[in-house]
Amino acid sequence: MSVLPYLIAGWIFLAGCYGLATSRHLVHAVSCLAVCQSSTYVLLLAVGYRGGGTAPVSSDLKPGSRPLVDPIVQALALTDVVVGATVTARCTRRPGSRRSNAG
């Protein structure tokens, strides 16, 4: 198990946080937030990686014959994409704008 992916994820996260703390424009802040989120992708890849692992949906393999990749990590990555899209959408709304309930 290598420590390098964890260090890279930490470095990307710190770079994004630094950019977020020093940003003065909304576009720059949202892009720095996306950089912070990309560090979670690297972290999830590092946690879920198994050398020689195969997809967990394989009917032709006998149980225990080969290592399988953890499907929970894949579900967390998909959830991370959805949360990132939602946060980006919420950050780009104009302050003071309201949704109209009138149909």
In sequence order, what are the residues at sequence separation of 6 or more whose Cβ sits closer than 8 angstroms to the Cβ of residue 31? Answer: 19
Q: Any idea which residue has 């720095």 for tokens?
A: 32
Angle between helices 71-91 and 26-48 (to 10 degrees): 180
pTM of the model: 0.73
pLDDT tens per residue across all 103 residues of the chain: 689 999 999 999 999 999 999 988 888 888 898 999 999 989 988 888 877 777 777 667 677 777 778 788 888 888 988 988 888 888 776 666 666 555 4
Q: What is the pLDDT of residue 13?
A: 95
How many residues can be counted in the chain? Answer: 103
Report the C-alpha gap between 39 and 83 in whole angstroms.
Answer: 14
Mark residue 52 as left, alpha or beta (left: phi above 0; alpha: psi -120 to 50; beta: remaining): left
Q: Among all chains, which residue has been given the structure tokens 């967990």?
A: 56
